Structure 1
């Protein structure tokens, strides 16, 4: 299986902007930003005052204006303005953690990895696929148990499922196809009573 890829630099910057921000806000801010600044050279030269109005829809936009300038300058200084395509080199960039590095590899280069955000971490634990405390732990376990051919698609599928069905608050367990083996659903208070009321008499 393959995944559609985008410009790695845009993936990198958009993923930084997406931290603690809703996807629709990230999309608006990214489109506004890239309409004026196409690459690391332009972004590194821009001032925070130039960038802040463009990315205002995202959370912590003032800090992120500084962060995307720093990572752009680091790309120029260390990699001649080219986004590296190894996990280790990406992690050496400022503001880049495991999820961001994996997003760049998957969506920028089509490399098999499993980016783990809050949705992937929550869904994996609720279903009982993992028993972990952090996204980093979840990533390591998923990469052991999920066939490599599926790595490229885990992030997208789990995020969609986490937004539509396995929501952080008010999960739609009644609409879930995995309820029969879901650890979270089996442990819900009142589930046995609800099932008993539905039993034919």
Structure 2
């Protein structure tokens, strides 16, 4: 990862406006135009850093991605990917999920935790798809969020990665980084989604989500971010919250679920 000097970081870090310009327009006090430019520069740099960024759940169809995303709650993508091949083989379509034996499904779901609740959700999901969408996963946000166990985050994952419909997926990593970058101060995922969406072109929303999630999992950790090797340190108003020594910071970098 490229390193930045302290001089470069300080010279490009956003600063509050001076003079009688009125209250700050943005969370960092920079102008709206400066915030937009900085946000897009960060995303561009993360795209260079993570050229292979993508959804880290394995799938081949919209239904597989939808089920995998529902199952990923309160567990890791690695565990989901290790479990879903048997699930997808046993339940090849929405009708199979809709008519599943709960006890059998629970056994398959056990490694993922909360298996009873997830069984109820997935069976209900299959039933809703069969009854209201002819067994097909809908490609509209307003339809997806009516399905059991599906909120905006899951819907945007499916839209962006299975249907190429741009969407911002606000998980814990995305929300944390958006606030650290000074793009928003919101805690509510929907508000974060809307505020960040105003900074980045719509066509880039899905990849932006991947970039922030990958960076959050690998470098910009919740407790000890590896600031000293962060490729976007020079544009980050939160630089210094984590380890700034490059050698020590490098030891904090994680490979991520796929290495």
TM-score norm. by structure 1 comes to 0.87
CA distance in 1, matches of 2:122, 2:155: 14
Which structure 2 residues correspond to residues 36-185 of structure 1 after superposition, within 5 A?
36-185=90-239
CA distance in structure 2 between the partners assigned to 1:140 and 1:176 by the alignment:
26
Higher relative contact order (CA 8 A, sep 6+): 2
Post-superposition offset of 1:181 = 2.9
What are the Cα deviations for residues 93-127 of structure 1, in whole angstroms up to 9, with x where unaligned?
A: 11110001111101111111111111111111111
Distance 1:190-1:99 versus aligned 2 partners, 3 A rule: closer
Q: Which runs of 5+ in 2 are unaligned?
A: 1-53, 246-259
Secondary structure in structure 2 of the residue aligned to 1:119? helix
The 3 A distance-change label for structure 1 pair 39 and 174 is same
Q: Quote the Cα distance in structure 2 between the aligned partners of 1:153 and 1:90.
A: 20
Other structure's SS at 1:100 match: helix
**Alignment RMSD, CA only?**
2.1
Compute the displacement of 1:48 (Å): 1.8
Q: Displacement of 1:190 after TM fit? A: 10
User: For 2:84, which of 30, 35, 47 is the aligned residue?
Assistant: 30
**Per the alignment, in what secondary structure is the counterpart of residue 145 of structure 1?**
coil
More helix by share: 1
Q: Distance in 1 between matches of 2:60 and 2:164?
A: 9
CA apart distance, 1:184:
2.4
Bigger mean CA offset, 5-14 vs 109-118: 5-14
Question: For the structure 1 residues 64 and 189, does the alpha-carbon distance in structure 2 shift closer, same or farther, using more than 3 Å as the test?
Answer: closer
- Give me the whole-angstrom Cα distance separating, in 1, the residues matched to 2:119 and 2:178: 32
CA distance in 2, matches of 1:146, 1:153: 11
- Gaps in structure 1 of 5+ consecutive residues: 195-201
Q: Distance in 2 between matches of 1:6 and 1:30?
A: 11
Cα distance, 1:174–1:72 mapped onto 2, change above 3 Å:
same
Give the alignment's TM-score, normalised by structure 2: 0.68
